[in-house]
Amino acid sequence: MKKTSLKWYSILIPDIIEAIQERNLEEIKNFLKELAPSEIVEITDDLPPAEQALVFRLLDKEKAADCLAEMSKDEAEELIKNLTSKEVKEILSTMDPDDRVRIFDELPSDIVEKLISNLDREKREEIRILLNYPYGSAGHRMNPFFARISGDKKVKEALDEIRKKSFDEEIIREIYVTDEKNKLLGKVKLPKLVLSNPEKKVYEVMEKNPIAVNVLTDQEEAANIIKNHDLISLPVVDSENRVLGILTVDDIIDIIEEEATEDIHKLGGLTSPEPEEEYYQLNLWERVKKRVPWLISLLIFELITATVIKSFDKLIQSAVFLSYFIPMLIGTGGNTGTQSVTLAVRAMALGEIEFSDLLKIVLKEVLTGAGMGLILGIVGGGVAFIITHSLRVTQVIFFALLTVILFSNLLGIFLPMIFKRLKIDPAISSSPLITTLIDVGGLFIYFMIAYVFVF
């Protein structure tokens, strides 16, 4: 659950607390009816645990389930501790299976086992099946409840069957057509089914061979399929093309947010976040722990720059001016690399570039890097001339900037592509990593060019 920048209803919290203390429960109940689940969670987050539980008891079970699905890990855990086992069971039983799985993913294992044991046998089996699929897979995130009909039925018979089953609005927008073994044959949107000739067979009006994903498909890949094909839902099938569940647009929104958060953390050199982990819920040690591992690794790697500088010790002593421009050079190279790696990671995430496009990308990025290098080389060389009044220094800085920017641009593009080729998340080629590599490589290039001009 994400905090809003402006909580207009926060001014009502004192009135809510007063109403709770006075046990004016009907007034609270009427007020809560007007709020969306996300707004209720926003309010209850500022209430003491006992009052928070009391507010939840005033909600109908369906709305309480929606509110629980909106909560972060710590909020959900605290609420569950303050509700009775019976109340928790009723709320969880009302939730969709995929929302239930998301809640269980975020809670400690001992609490999850206790909650599962309290559920009815049917719901226990549902949740265990979904939890058994790998975390981050389509099977783990799917909703096993979906609308299905036989292709041999008449349209009017199919509509009668759908009415009797009372499907949720979320899963009835698209109806999947299966055979007697539950194998996927096609799909049909509800409006089309309603408007079709009642005497026609369902297979005559259905869309044949719909796009589907395997239960073990990565959730990010499934999200991209829905996004790229403008789908309302996506069937999840096993190796024999039997439909096991569906992913809907609301699932995809959650997945995209999770994957984007993970990539941003990796680009910043942070360890991957836990589900629903929020900034203000991290204590001091957790904040330090997320950032230190990468920083220690990069600090050790940065020591190579000291070796590079030491190996050119005589050159620096004979041309002290070289040290003046080190920060400018490696800073510009680092900025160029950061831009390139960001563009590359995004382009790969959207499927815009592939390893097979390597030659085309090399030509494109060589020209781009050379263009940027020429412009920045002229600017940097000009600054060097103003400072030192030396044409030789100007030449060194110009060629060093040109070469370092070309190197940085290519490295920023290639590194994520190489990582992806090795089945490593391209986002790991993060800003801190690319900057560190460019610091080492850039210094070496700078001193080698300086060596040519000075000696």
Rounded distance, CA 223 to CA 236, Å?
12
Query: Which pLDDT score is estimated for 322?
Result: 83
* Bridge partners for 188 per DSSP: 175
Share of the chain above pLDDT 90, in %: 23
β-pairing verdict for 184-189 and 174-178? antiparallel
pLDDT score of 213: 94
Share of the chain above pLDDT 70, in %: 88
Could you give the CA distance from residue 287 to residue 260 in angstroms, rounded to a whole number? 19
* 24 compared with 378, residue with greater pLDDT: 378
pLDDT digits (tens, 9 = 90+) for 158-182: 998 888 887 777 788 899 999 888 9
CB atoms within 10 A of CB 267: 22
Residues 406 and 322 in one domain: yes
First to last CA, the chain: 63
Angle at 398 between CA 395 and CA 323, to 5 degrees: 80
| Residue 280 pLDDT level (bands cut at 50, 70, 90) | low
Task: Supply the CATH number for residue 178's domain.
Answer: 3.10.580.10
Domain that holds residue 244: 148-248
pLDDT of residue 261: 67
CA atoms within 13 A on the CB side of 224: 14
Q: Are residues 178 and 107 in the same domain?
A: no
On the question of pLDDT at 81 being above 90, the answer is no
Domain end, chosen from 78, 104, 132, is at 132
Whether residues 324 and 423 fall in one domain: yes
CATH number at residue 30: 1.25.60.10
Whether residue 253 has pLDDT greater than 50? yes
**Contact between residue 185 and residue 179 where contact means Cβ atoms under 8 Å apart:** yes
Residues 216 and 122 in one domain: no
CA distances from 311 to 168, 317, 440, 449, 455 (A): 70, 12, 12, 14, 16
Q: Is 403 part of a structural domain of the chain?
A: yes
Flag whether 275 is in a domain: no
Domain end point (choices 103, 132, 161): 132
Note whether 426 and 326 are same-domain residues: yes
* Mean pLDDT (whole number) for 397-401: 94
* Distance between CA atoms of residues 395 and 406, nearest Å: 17
Same domain for 226 and 317: no
> Residue 191 domain-assigned?
yes
Main-chain dihedrals φ then ψ at residue 383, nearest 5 degrees: -65, -40
pLDDT single digits (tens) 401-445: 999 999 999 998 888 888 888 877 776 656 677 888 888 899 999
Report pLDDT digits (tens) over 308-337: 888 888 888 878 888 889 889 989 998 898
Check: CB of residue 265 under 8 Å from CB of residue 258: no
- 31 and 60 share a domain? yes
Number of domains in the chain: 3
Distance, in Å, from the CA atom of 403 to the CA atom of 393, rounded to the nearest integer, reads 15
pLDDT of residue 76: 83
pTM of the shown model:
0.61
Residues in the chain: 455
Note whether 290 and 438 are same-domain residues. yes
Residue 399 has pLDDT above 80, yes or no: yes
**Same domain, residue pair 295 and 399:** yes
Count Cβ atoms below 10 Å from residue 16 Cβ, excluding itself.
21
In a domain? residue 189: yes
CATH code (residue 428): 1.10.357.20
Secondary structure of residue 155 in the 3-state scheme: helix
pLDDT band per the 50, 70, 90 thresholds, residue 271: low
On whether both 310 and 443 belong to a single domain, the answer is yes
Residue that terminates a domain, selected from 198, 222, 248: 248
